[in-house]
Amino acid sequence: MNHDTVTPLHGAELAARIAALAEGEDDEVALMATLACELHHADDRFDWTGFYRVTAPELLKIGPYQGGHGCLTIPFARGVCGAAARTGEVQIVEDVEAFPGHIACSSSTRSEIVLPVFTGSGRLIGVLDIDSDRPAAFDARDAAALNAILRQVFGRLA
């Protein structure tokens, strides 16, 4: 990725649009659906954009998303999404083929970024998973921009 490129993800316009759409809403699934749609259509690097929700101890289930079908369930012990949920840390994978235990939900995925999603009280409610059909599509600037949006939207929830 050209690290000097400014994408819509890094601009203030997307964050402002999401803030306006999310204002007054406290339903987690409604917020996830809105974010998945807005993020997916904001950046042409994004091939699949969606959430996996924590539905049981150590288990993620598919939530709102944009793109082709995703995996239905992912245990915390497996894959990039599981690693983000298990560690509470952003996972940036430049080459999914080189990630041990990568779960191939789509054969077109080349790189991935997954961010844990926390409420304001620190409760993990899921992960935001964004796949790209381009190798090395994501970097720390993307992680910072996405984290800021997630905090803005979900950080006000208990």
pLDDT digits (tens, 9 = 90+) for 23-66: 999 999 999 999 999 999 999 999 999 999 999 999 999 999 99
Nearest 5°: the CA angle 96, 102, 108 is: 50
Instruction: Give the pLDDT confidence score for residue 58 in this predicted structure.
Output: 97
Instruction: Give the pLDDT confidence score for residue 1 in this predicted structure.
Output: 47
Mean pLDDT value across the chain = 92
CA 36 to chain centre: 8
Instruction: Give the pLDDT confidence score for residue 103 in this predicted structure.
Output: 73
* Cα–Cα dist 5/35, whole Å: 22
What number is the average pLDDT over the span 131-149? 96
60 pairs with which residues across the strands?
A: 54, 74
What number is the average pLDDT over the span 105-117? 89
Question: Given pLDDT bands bounded at 50, 70 and 90, which one contains residue 80?
Answer: very high
Question: Do 114 and 143 contact (CB within 8 A), yes or no?
Answer: no
**Is residue 153's pLDDT more than 60?**
yes
Domains assigned to the chain: 28-154 (3.30.450.40)
Instruction: Give the pLDDT confidence score for residue 125 in this predicted structure.
Output: 98
Model pTM greater than 0.75?
A: yes
Angle between helices 28-42 and 140-154 (to 10 degrees): 150
Instruction: Give the pLDDT confidence score for residue 5 in this predicted structure.
Output: 60
Exposed / middle / buried, residue 134 (Cβ in 10 Å: 0-12, 13-18, 19+): middle
